[in-house]
Amino acid sequence: CHLIHYLRLSHHLIVLNYLICTFDKLKSVSSEDIKITDAVFDGVEVRVFEPPAKGDESLKRSVVYIHGGGWALASARTSLYNNLCRIMAESLNAVVVSVEYRLVPEVCFPEQYHDALRATKHFLQPDVLAEYSVDPSRIAISGDSAGGNLAAAVCQQLSKDEDLTVRPKLQALIYPVLQAFDFNTPSYQQNMNMPVLPRYVMINYWIDYINGNYDLAHELLVNNHTALNVGRALSFRARLNWTSLLPPSFKKNYQPVVQTTGTAAIVERLPALLDVRAVPLLADDATLARQPRTYVLTCENDVLRDDGAMYATRLERAGVPVTLDHFHDCFHGCMIFTVWPTDFSAGVQTRNSYIKWLDENL
C-alpha cells in the first residue's frame, strides 16, 4: 500500500514538474517596463517586481505573494508565477514581492512557514519599505493553494506580533488549503477524483509537508485522526464543522464522516495536524477577529473549495470584512494557466477578478 501511494504521488509530481519546466521555457507575456530583481530578505530568497516610477506619485502599493505547489513544487522564478506577478505589478502599479521559500523534500513544516514569515517581516520594516518606495498603509499578503495556506498563517502571526509597526491592509487567498482535519468535506467528496488535485494527492502533500508516512494515508482519508475518541481534536471540532459553516449550495446532500473510534496516536506522531501554523482554519475567534479585510477565491471543481468557504464564514462571523469570490466552472490551480498552450478562460477570469478586488481595496 505504501509503495502504491508513493508511485501514484511520484507520477503526479513528475507530470506537474514536466508541465512547470515546459511552461518555464515560454516567453513572458507582460510588459518589459517592470523591473525584476532577486534579493534576500532575512535569509530568504525573494523576487521583487517594481513598476516604473511616475512623476506624480511618491509611494506605491505592494503585494507580498507566496506561490502554490503543495509546499513541494514551483518557484517564484518559473514563468507561470513570473507572469502572474509581472501582470499584478503592472495592473496595480504595485511592488510585488514573490517569496522563494524552501520546498519539500529539502525541508518540511514548519520551515516553509518560517521562510514566508521571515521574508514578510523583513519587508514590513519601515526602512525596507522606504527603499522600495512602498506605502506602509497599502500592503497585501496573498498566495494560492499551499501559498494561500502560508499567507493565512503568516497573516495570523503578524496580527499577534505586538512589536510590528506596519501591518498588512489586506489578505487575498486563492483556493487556499487551510485544514487537514476533515478530508470528507462536501468538496473533498464531490471532487475526490478531480484532475489537477485529486483527494489522495492532497492527502499525500499533507503527509510530505508534516513529515509523515504514506502508510497513514488511509487513516487520514477516513478521518480516523479526528475521531470522537481523539481528545486533542475535540476542542477544534466546532471550528471546522462544515454543516454550520457552508451554504446549502455547497453542502448539497453530502453527509459528515465522523468516526466514533479512530487512531489517537496519529496526532501524537504528527502534532502538526493540529498546529494552527500549518492549519490556519483551526485558529480561535480572537485571532480571526484581528485579521485584515480578506478576499477568498474558490472554485467549484476543487477539493479545497470548502476550506476557503469555511474560512470566509469564520472570518465574517468574527467581524472581518470578507469577499468570497466563487467560480462555478473553474478548477484548482487555474489562475496560473493563462499562457499558451494552456491559456484557459478560467485562468484569465479568476486572475482578472482577483486583481480587480486588489485594485479596488488596496
Query: What digits encode the pLDDT tens for the residues 163-188?
Result: 999 999 999 999 999 999 999 999 99
Instruction: Average the pLDDT over 288-312 and give the result.
Output: 98
**Contact in structure between 311 and 152 (CB atoms under 8 Å):** yes
Q: Considering 12, 114, 225, 332, which one is annotated as catalytic?
A: 332
What does the pLDDT read at residue 16? 52
| 328 given a catalytic annotation | no
Q: Which residue has the higher pLDDT, 111 or 24?
A: 111
Residue located via cell numbers 485562468: 347
pLDDT at 9 (0 to 100): 52
Domain-by-domain residue ranges, the chain? Answer: 1-180+270-360
Confidence of residue 247 (pLDDT cuts 50, 70, 90): very high
According to the model, what pLDDT value does residue 180 have? 98
Q: Above 90 in pLDDT, residue 5?
A: no
User: Quick one: what percent of the chain has pLDDT higher than 70?
Assistant: 90
Cell of 254: 453530502
Q: Pick the catalytic residue from 302, 306, 307, 325.
A: 302
pLDDT higher than threshold 50 for residue 3: no
Can you give the pLDDT at residue 74?
96
**Is 115 in the active site?**
no
Band the pLDDT of 4: cuts 50, 70, 90. very low
For residue 340, what pLDDT band results from cuts at 50, 70 and 90? low
Q: Is 332 a catalytic residue?
A: yes
Instruction: Report, as an integer, the average pLDDT of 325-348.
Output: 88
Q: What is the largest CA-CA distance in the chain?
A: 66
Question: Reading across the β-sheet that carries 170-174, which strands appear in turn?
Answer: 35-41, 44-50, 94-100, 60-66, 134-144, 170-174, 293-301, 322-331
Query: H or E segment at 309?
Result: helix 305-317
- φ and ψ at residue 144, rounded to 5 degrees: -120, 140
Residue 191 has pLDDT above 80, yes or no: yes
Per-residue pLDDT tens digits for 6-42: 455 544 554 555 455 544 444 444 456 899 999 999 9
pLDDT at 343: 77
pLDDT score for 30: 43
Amino acid letter, residue 112:
Q
Q: Tell me the three cell numbers of residue 154.
A: 503568516
pLDDT of amino acid 27: 45
Mean pLDDT in the chain? 92
In this prediction, residue 2 has a pLDDT band, given cuts at 50, 70 and 90, of: very low
User: Of the residues 145, 208, 225, 306, which is catalytic?
Assistant: 145
Q: For residue 56, what pLDDT is reported?
A: 67
Amino acid at 191: N
**Residue-wise DSSP of 179-195:** -SS-TTSHHHHHTTT-S
Q: What's the pLDDT at 31?
A: 54
Per-residue confidence (pLDDT) for residue 25, from 0 to 100: 43
Instruction: Provide CATH code, domain 1-180+270-360.
Output: 3.40.50.1820
State yes or no: pLDDT of 69 exceeds 70: yes
